[in-house]
Every structure is written in C-alpha cells, then in structure tokens.
C-alpha cells in the first residue's frame, strides 16, 4: 500500500506520520464514565470534564474514517460473572460491601456497571460508532492486558496510535504506556482527552507523555492537514 504522509505540529516536535499505518484508540467514552446517569454520576462524581472531548471527537472521527484510519473503541466491559476480575479490583470500588460497585445494577436504569453489552459500557450517544469501527472490551487500566487489542493492531499493520478518551491519567495513560513498551509510536490528542481527576493529574500526564512516551498534539492539526492533503 502506498504511503500517505501527514505532517502535523506536535510536542516536543513536528511529526510526519503515515496514515496507512495509523489508528485511533478512543478509551472509555462510555455511559458509566461520561453520562450524568452513569456510574460515576451516580456515586457523586461530576462528569462534566469527562464530556469535554465529545465535540472534538465528533469532528475528528468522521475525518479519520474518511481517510481510512481505523477507529477502535476501547471500553471497560467486564464479563457478567466477573470471573476475569481479581478480588482487589472489586474491593477498591466497593470497599465496605455497600453501594453500587462493578457489576451491580444502577438504580433507575438497572444497567449493570461496566458490564459488556450493557448500557453502562456503551459509547455515549453523541459519538455513535459506525459499522466499520472496531470494538475491544478491556478489564484493567491498560487495554492490552488479557485482550485482543495487540493482535488486532498487528493484523491491521498499524504502527502509530492516536490516543483519546478518559481518564487521561488512568486508562488512557495505562494503555499508552503499554503501547509504547510494545513498540508503537504514540500520539496523545490533548483536546480529545480529559479526566475527572484534579487538573495537576492532566498536566502531569501531558508532561510525561511528551518527556518519555511519545508526542502530544491537537485534533485540529489532523483536521487542518487532512483537509489540505
């Protein structure tokens, strides 16, 4: 396949990437994390920051699809029986045994928290996936552990990964770190990422990605350069 180079401004330096070897991984833009009636909203977390990437992704993803860049949705979606989860992971989100933890039904909707196939694990309506998109369920902070993500990317002959989603300091960063260790070139899309953590967590993540693990860019760079190419 002929190369399709795209030059973009990024930090710490300008990049030239090959669109034929590029994919975007959108992490956890799902109802439990981004919808006011999802799990985080139910336990009192303000999900407003987690919704910030939605308008940027709504513009970027159609342009990437038009350029034949694979779109991968990496959502937290556990087995209904939760047998693939260690006890410590269940405990940390329900330490007293009281409340709504992983796999429990949400009051109102009855959707099971972070369960594959449930409303809770579905992508928010504003970013409705297209038929050609690829879905991968994850069960840890990193999407590479105990999943088929790496195999899919290898079969797609992808070497460059764009990262977006929430929480940027947790699941996005965890997946990006593993991708970097596996030899992928990683680009964090800053305006397409967010966190409900304190602002310094976002700042530290951006700093460390630029310093050690890859590059940081804005989605507008892709939109501008793709339109001009």
How many domains are there within the chain?
1
Per-residue pLDDT of the chain (229 residues; tens, 9 = 90+): 789 999 999 999 999 999 999 999 999 999 999 999 999 999 999 999 999 999 999 999 999 999 999 999 999 999 999 998 999 888 888 888 888 999 999 998 899 999 999 999 999 999 999 999 999 999 999 999 999 999 999 999 999 999 999 999 999 999 999 999 999 999 999 999 999 999 999 999 999 999 999 999 999 998 987 766 6
Is residue 88 part of the annotated active site? The answer reads no
Is residue 104 part of the annotated active site? The answer reads no
Q: Which residue, chain included where needed, has tokens 């030059």?
A: 7
This prediction's pTM: 0.96
Q: Which residues contact 98 (CB under 8 A, 6 or more apart)?
A: none
Q: Domain range spanning residue 73?
A: 5-228
Annotated catalytic residue within 32, 34, 171, 186: 171
Annotated catalytic residue within 32, 34, 116, 138: 138
What CA–CA distance (Å, rounded) separates 102 from 89? 9
Q: Residue 23's domain is classified under what CATH number?
A: 3.40.50.850
What CA–CA distance (Å, rounded) separates 223 from 202? 23
Q: Are 160 and 18 in contact (CB under 8 A)?
A: yes
Is residue 138 part of the annotated active site? The answer reads yes
């Amino acid at each position: 396949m002929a190369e399709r180079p795209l030059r973009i401004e990024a930090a710490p330096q300008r990049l030239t990437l090959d669109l034929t070897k590029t994919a975007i991984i959108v992490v956890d833009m799902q109802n439990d994390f981004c919808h006011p009636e999802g799990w985080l909203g139910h336990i009192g977390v303000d999900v407003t920051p987690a919704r910030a990437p939605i308008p940027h992704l709504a513009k970027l993803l159609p342009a990437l699809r038009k350029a034949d860049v694979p779109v991968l949705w990496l959502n937290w979606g556990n087995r209904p029986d939760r047998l693939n989860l260690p006890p410590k992971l269940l405990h940390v989100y329900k330490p007293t045994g009281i409340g709504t933890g992983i796999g429990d039904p949400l009051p109102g909707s009855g959707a099971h928290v972070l369960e594959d196939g449930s409303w809770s694990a579905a992508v928010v309506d504003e970013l409705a996936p297209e038929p050609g998109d690829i879905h991968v369920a994850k069960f840890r902070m990193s999407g590479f552990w105990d999943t088929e993500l790496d195999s899919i990317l290898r079969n797609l002959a992808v070497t460059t990964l764009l990262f977006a989603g929430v929480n940027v300091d947790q699941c996005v960063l965890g997946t990006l770190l593993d991708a970097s260790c596996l030899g992928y070139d990683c680009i964090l899309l800053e305006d397409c990422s967010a966190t409900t953590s304190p602002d310094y967590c976002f700042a530290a993540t951006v700093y460390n990605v630029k310093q050690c693990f890859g590059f940081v860019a804005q989605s507008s760079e892709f939109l501008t350069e793709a339109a001009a190419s």
